[in-house]
Structure formats: C-alpha cells, structure tokens
Structure 1
C-alpha cells in the first residue's frame, strides 16, 4: 500500500511564500486563499500614515499599522490571517494575547481589533471590498474603513453581522469630507488623502 502524501498546511505554504518573496511583501490568507502584496506605493503609505495620525489626533489610543491578526481555532488551518493597513485595538495587549499569538502561528486575535482600515491598491481593491470585508465582519470588528483610492471615496462599514459576514451600515464619503465614525471615534478629517 502506498501512503498518500500529507497535504501541507496553508500556514506552512504561507511561510514558504513569505521566505521566497522580497522583504516588505505581505502574505495574508482570506477564505482559504493566499495573497501576496508588494510594499505599499508612496501614496498608499502616505494615506496609511495620515489615517494613523488623524486617529491619534482624535485622542484614539492603541492605533497601529500592519500587525498580524487571525481569527478562529488554532487547528483551523483555513482561518483568516490578515494584516490591516491601520487598526485600532479594543484594549492593550496582554500576556494572554501573547500566549494566544504563540499558539496561533504568532498572529494576534482579530477579536482585539475595534477598527480595521485598508487603503486600496489597484491589484487588491476587490479583496478589500470582498474577502477582507467578510473576514472583518465575521470576526466582529466593529468598524471597517476603506480608503478607496480608485474612486476617491472613504467607505465606512459598521455594525458587524458575524453570521452573515457583512455589515449592517455602510456610509460613503468623498476625499476631503469630514467622516462620521461611530462611537467612540467621532469625526475624522480626510483632507490630505492622495
């Protein structure tokens, strides 16, 4: 009898891909698929930094950029593993969160995220409005903000429905508008987005 080769874990493939691509590339998995994104273009990076700065200026704490998060059980190889451009955590990171991350391939729990923001790129815009939106809603991330560089819009999704993997409320704003974010955030100044 010939033994069938054991299929590789998705995470193991992600590690192999991450080791094969140049430094600065992001490797994420959404809906069981692996996505590789090159380093952010200068304009993309500028918008990420502006969002982070504006959130901090609003008095929002625990804001960061590009941290690895996952949801689901440790033995669920197809669980999403995402790296939001900008995020706000619900709380300070604890020793328990670090232990969770160590048990989950060094990804922190997506349940720690209160707000996730993605700045679209031509190659991954469809993912930001598709699989990532569904991933964040399913994980119960309260606010998902998309800076749509193609249409020059800011789209705010809030009120997640985890079972349906979507958000109950969606509002669209133009670049330069004062964006009304749900509590506890307030108004976000978007002037200066490129």
Structure 2
C-alpha cells in the first residue's frame, strides 16, 4: 500500500502530533502542525495567485539579504510547524525547510473559509510567542474588498492590531511596503466574474 493510501488511516488514528511525527509523512505533502493538530491545506487557484501578487509587492523594499518566499515551513516548537502563505526570511535560509521561525522578518497568511479561526486566533498567538515582529492576515473574501490586518507585538508581547484596511496599505515596518488592496480586489472580482 502506498503512503498516500495509508495517510487517511494514519490521520484518523493520530490525535496529538509532534514535529518528530512529521517524518512519517510523504515528503511532497503540504501540511501545517498547529498546537499538535495536523492540518492539510488545499488553497484555491485565486489564493495562490494572491500569494504570488503579495510576494511581488514585498520584493521592492525588501532588506538586502532577505527574500519574500511563498509556502515555506517554519519550525516553532515540538507542537507547531507553521506554513505561512508568504514569509520574509534571510536568503541564507532558502535552501532548507523548515526554517527556524526566529529567522522570519514577516509572516503573512491568506484567509480561506477553513482557516479563518486558525489564522486569526491560533497563529496570532503562535507567531507572537515565537517573537515574529510582523504578522499580516489577508482576507480575500470580505464583501468590501480584500482586507489586510497588520499585527505587531504590544507592551505585553501579545499582538495588537495596528491596521486593518481595504485601501492602499503602506508601512515602514518591518520595511517599506506598499500593497494596492483595491487593485487586488479588482483582480479578485475579475477572476470571480463579479
């Protein structure tokens, strides 16, 4: 029996996963480990297009020696191996996966209907606890347009929402970035036929 055929029974049997258990998974499987729960994401085509657009928007001001990368695993601890849709990491870490989370300058998640609670709750806690200084969540499904929510550590170390907008997003943290959310919304509407 192939690994792909064994995977559903393996998932049904296992409740609490650790990073050590991930070695038993097929090498080409996309997964995240969040608080000991194995998650198998299945992004839509627009989700992936949006990820590429965001990588391109993050490139121009990216600090020397860093690169925005789509879909790369970050090792956090024994119960968490996160896989942000986009992460900005040192170029020296590009040849390995997972990358230690303390190398991440920025983590960005694109919300899907099945990931909203994880992206806005579990991952907010995990990224803040790991010391990631900038965490952004992009919601492509908002009726008023694509919304970007920016989180940064507050005085207690937990994240605070700094910005939530569907307008032109500009920031200097962690570096100079401009994201044209109205243009991305027009792309979304064109792709969806709205």
Report if TM-score (shorter chain) is over 0.5: yes
Q: Which residue of 1 aligns with 2:162?
A: 170
Go from structure 1 to structure 2 and tell me whether the alpha carbon gap of 1:124 and 1:111 turns closer, same or farther (over 3 Å shift). Answer: same
1:171-190 residue pairs with structure 2 within 5 A? 171-174=163-166, 176-190=167-181
Please state which structure has a larger fraction of its residues in helix.
2
CA drift of 1:135 comes to 1.0
Q: 1:26 aligns with which of 24, 30, 33?
A: 30
SS state at 2:57 partner: helix
CA drift of 1:132 comes to 1.1
1:85 matched to 2:85? The reply is yes
1:42 matched to 2:45? The reply is yes
CA drift of 1:26 comes to 2.1
CA drift of 1:93 comes to 2.0
CA RMSD in angstroms comes to 2.9
Contact conserved, 2:57 with 2:178, CA < 8 A, in 1?
no
Listed as ranges, the gaps of 5+ residues in structure 2 are 1-14, 189-194
Q: 1:153 aligns with which of 133, 147, 157?
A: 147
Contact conserved, 2:62 with 2:175, CA < 8 A, in 1?
no
Contact conserved, 1:120 with 1:146, CA < 8 A, in 2?
yes
Structure-1-length-normalised TM-score: 0.72
1:51 matched to 2:50? The reply is no
- What is the number of equivalent residue pairs in this alignment? 166
Listed as ranges, the gaps of 5+ residues in structure 1 are 1-6
1:62 matched to 2:43? The reply is no
CA drift of 1:126 comes to 1.1
